[in-house]
Amino acid sequence: MSDLISMRDLSRNDVEAYLRHAEKMEKSLRSSSPPKPRNKIVATMFFEPSTRTHMSFWAAAERLGCRAISLSGDKSSSAKGETLSDTVRIMSGYADVLVLRHPLEGAARLAADVSSVPVVNAGDGGNQHPTQTLIDLYSILRLKKKISGLSVHLVGDLRHARAMRSLLYGLSMFGAKITLCSPKALAMSDEVVREVQEKFSPSIRTTHEINLRDCDVLYVCRIQKERFEDQYEAARLQDEFRITKEQISAAPDDLAILHPLPKIDELPADYDSDPHAKYFQQASWGVPVRMAVLDRVMGV
């Protein structure tokens, strides 16, 4: 049985196997025949809001011929005081794989320790979001045909965004040239940067100025206001830290803009139809990538 909890648990070979599998899944989605039914149930357990992750896992399960059941955290018995480990033990008796999103860092690891079926981390607090990273790497490969040597700028709330932490790990593993750009108060944790430097010796530059002149892939995320104690500060940073059309126009013509979504106003308004904007396409690759994840953790 294999869980998917953190990018840290994966080798480059593992990641490449997921990405190859996702390519097959993407091809299978073009076929008009329905999937062969499988006697498998995927349970989604979301204790934080979600649109893409939740719905794309659900769609992925159905596209694989599995069935999906869903527990919504705030309507579950956790509201009555049940512990997460009890909830997980119960759910692992009902399903063949658990997909968990939870506000506490380490929640997915804890779930995997008590579950009798594989657990997939769909985001644990500000810690990890490995399936988002697989989608991001898949998107970069589909758009740019390579990752190694590409100049990728991670721009936004690098302190709190789990998508950024996981992606820094994935990009370092594949030898991208990484620029970390955030407001001063929202820099990537030194510990995380040190860890990837020790493991992969990537090229990492840290800055607080947005300068896209050498940028092949601009990866943006919103200010993660739910992780701030001070909501006034979150609103101030969201307001201050915006990417302008002028900054984007300084970038090479084939710049690709990615975003895990949801976006607020960190990108210029009415930018969605710009040819650089690839984030809706990126979100749609969530289905084949999560099909590959479910398939592999279920041991197919």
Least distance in angstroms from the C-beta of 201 to ligand NCD: 27
242-to-106, 187, 265, 299 alpha-carbon distances in Å? 31, 16, 7, 43
Helix (H) or strand (E) holding 152: strand 151-155
Concerning whether 44 is annotated as a catalytic residue, the answer is: no
User: Toward ligand NCD, which CB reaches closer, 174 or 219?
Assistant: 219
Can you read off the two tokens belonging to residue 267? Answer: 């990108």
Number of residues that bind ligand NCD (CB under 6 A): 13
Residue ranges of alpha helices (H) inside 202-285 are 231-240, 245-249, 279-284
User: Toward ligand NCD, which CB reaches closer, 158 or 177?
Assistant: 158
Instruction: Spot the catalytic one: 40, 129, 159, 162.
Output: 129
Q: Which residues, in sequence order, are CB contacts of 137 under 8 Å at separation 6+?
A: 15, 19, 147, 167, 170, 171, 174
Among 222, 278, 290, 296, binds ligand NCD (CB under 6 A): 222
Q: Is 108 an interacting residue with respect to ligand NCD (CB under 6 A)?
A: no
Among 91, 261, 293, 297, binds ligand NCD (CB under 6 A): 261
Q: Is 160 an interacting residue with respect to ligand NCD (CB under 6 A)?
A: no
Residue 174, strand partner residues? none
User: Toward ligand NCD, which CB reaches closer, 92 or 286?
Assistant: 286
Among 21, 52, 63, 165, binds ligand NCD (CB under 6 A): 52
Q: Please give the radius of gyration of the chain, using alpha carbons only, rounded to the nearest integer.
A: 19
Which residues are annotated as catalytic? Answer: 52-53, 80, 101, 129
